[in-house]
Amino acid sequence: MMMMSLRLLRTLVVAALIPLLTLTKASDLPPDISGAETVVLPEDTTVSTDLGVITCIDRSLGAASDTGCSTCHISSVRPVFDGFTLLKMLGSPDFQLNFQPTTAVLSSGSYTVTVTCNGLNQVSGTWTVQVTI
């Protein structure tokens, strides 16, 4: 009887410790990224056009942090098109998504632009913007 009680107690202790061991540390969290999810760009656009602000907060520094991400870049555009750029806004932790006219012709009614941002811990997160022509 005593042996069974000890075994049961040990099982309960181990079961209580497992959730504590699987908690995610702040340093493992991906950044919080936000911005426009869809943008409409007129087909005849011939000048550089702002498509919206991408905000990235580095959560690896803790919940109270308001520090921006160390880097953000366009990781893909589908279908492939080189007319989108991402620029760091001066004096701000935010990034600006832009359309830069090129000699290439807009070939689709819709582009999916994926932005990847990294926190100081090098854990990345992504944000997707649908640009409709």
CATH number at residue 32: 2.60.40.60
Beta bridge partners of 50: 98
* 5 assigned to some structural domain: no
**Position 6 in a domain:** no
Q: Would you say the pTM of this structure is higher than 0.85?
A: no
What's the domain count of the chain? Answer: 1
Mean pLDDT across the chain? 77
Q: Is residue 4 part of a domain?
A: no
Give pLDDT, residue 29: 79
* Tens-place pLDDT, residues 82-116: 889 999 988 888 999 999 877 666 666 899 999 99
Higher-pLDDT residue of 73, 90: 73
Give the span between the Cα atoms of 112 and 78, in whole angstroms. Answer: 5
Q: Are strands 124-132 and 38-40 parallel, antiparallel or unpaired?
A: parallel
Instruction: Answer whether residue 19 is part of any domain.
Output: no
Q: Is residue 106 part of a domain?
A: yes
Structural domain containing residue 63? 26-132
Domain-embedded: residue 45: yes
